[in-house]
């Protein structure tokens, strides 16, 4: 009950300040979770991870570890269900599949922190040597939605209000323009990247990143930081991810030199 209470009064409010998303997280998600046990485990997993993040003092390390363990325990149940669910999505279980996939992406991001130790060089709860590994893991939502009638089923469910029109594109803050200009210059430099196709993939990915970075700086009542952060990962072209697989070491070196 403690985690459910925390989800309702705190965790669900951290996902977005956009009214439709707030209402969905506070009302529709719990309603679905109470009739779909794996979804409830998903809610409890992300909430336990959130509680762990809030315990920042070294004296709270034991309690933080307890919440991390609890989060991982719930998430194990979620993963086992999702593997089976995605093989046969129906109108009845599609909303739950969407919630589980979405919260799994958030869980992945939230786990990339030193939650199980107070040491400055502690490893993350989830550790990925390659950035493309976590990007691939987080791209499950669009893949799932593209199956047959899944997206239509989600739209028809109480979750459909999340997809209501009303959002708009916002300009990139002026102080960020030089950074993106510099990145564009480097990523389109033939001397650094010989392949025209590869350069085009990088520039296209950067364009999407610029758009969604700008939207992350929308006025408070229009801000949907979580959704905005996940959009780029889930819409960037597959070829960009493939290039990361083959060239990620040199890409990281380039970024560090900027």
Q: What is the pLDDT of residue 47?
A: 97
- Ordered by start, the domain boundaries in the chain are 2-162, 174-257
pLDDT at 111: 80
In this prediction, residue 124 carries a pLDDT of 47
Query: Taking all residues of the chain, what is their mean pLDDT, rounded to a whole number?
Result: 81
Whether the per-residue pLDDT at 46 is higher than 50: the answer is yes
Angle of CA points 236, 240, 242, to nearest 5°: 125
Q: Select the more confidently predicted residue: 246 or 132.
A: 246
Entry pTM = 0.73
> 35-49, 186-200, 234-248: which has the highest mean pLDDT?
35-49
The top-scoring range by mean pLDDT among 27-31, 53-57, 144-148, 152-156 is 27-31
pLDDT, tens digit (0-9, with 9 covering 90-100), for 139-161: 766 667 777 788 889 999 999 88
Mean pLDDT over 26-45 rounds to 96
Supply the pLDDT for residue 177: 93
pLDDT tens-digit series, residues 84-128: 888 889 999 999 998 998 898 888 878 876 665 555 444 445 555
In terms of Cα–Cα distance, which of 227, 215, 222 is closest to 19?
222
- Mean pLDDT of all residues in 174-179: 92
- How much of the chain exceeds pLDDT 90, in percent? 36
Residues 23-50 have a mean pLDDT of: 95
Residue with the larger pLDDT of the pair 125 and 136: 136
Q: Would you say residue 15 has pLDDT above 70?
A: yes
């Amino acid at each position: 009950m403690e985690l459910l209470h925390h989800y309702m009064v705190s965790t669900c409010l951290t996902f977005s300040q956009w009214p439709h998303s707030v209402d969905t997280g506070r009302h529709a998600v719990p309603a679905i979770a109470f009739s779909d046990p794996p979804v409830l485990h998903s809610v409890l997993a992300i909430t336990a991870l959130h509680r762990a993040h809030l315990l920042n003092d070294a004296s709270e390390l034991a309690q933080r570890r307890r919440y991390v363990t609890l989060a991982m325990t719930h998430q194990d149940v979620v993963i086992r269900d999702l593997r089976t669910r995605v093989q046969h999505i129906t109108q009845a279980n599609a909303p739950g599949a969407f919630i589980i996939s979405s919260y799994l992406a958030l869980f992945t991001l939230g786990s990339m922190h030193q939650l199980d130790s107070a040491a400055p060089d502690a490893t993350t709860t989830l550790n990925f040597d390659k950035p493309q590994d976590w990007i691939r893991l987080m791209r499950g939502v669009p893949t799932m939605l593209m199956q047959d009638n899944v997206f239509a089923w989600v739209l028809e469910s109480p979750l459909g209000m999340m997809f209501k029109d009303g959002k708009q594109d916002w300009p990139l803050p002026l102080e960020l323009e030089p950074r993106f200009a510099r990145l564009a210059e480097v990523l389109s430099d033939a001397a650094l990247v010989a392949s025209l196709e590869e350069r085009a993939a990088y520039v296209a990915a950067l364009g999407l990143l610029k758009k969604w970075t700008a939207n992350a700086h929308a006025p408070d009542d229009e801000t949907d930081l979580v959704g905005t952060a996940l959009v780029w990962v889930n819409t960037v072209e597959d070829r960009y991810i493939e290039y990361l697989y083959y060239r990620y070491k040199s890409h990281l070196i380039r970024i560090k030199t900027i």
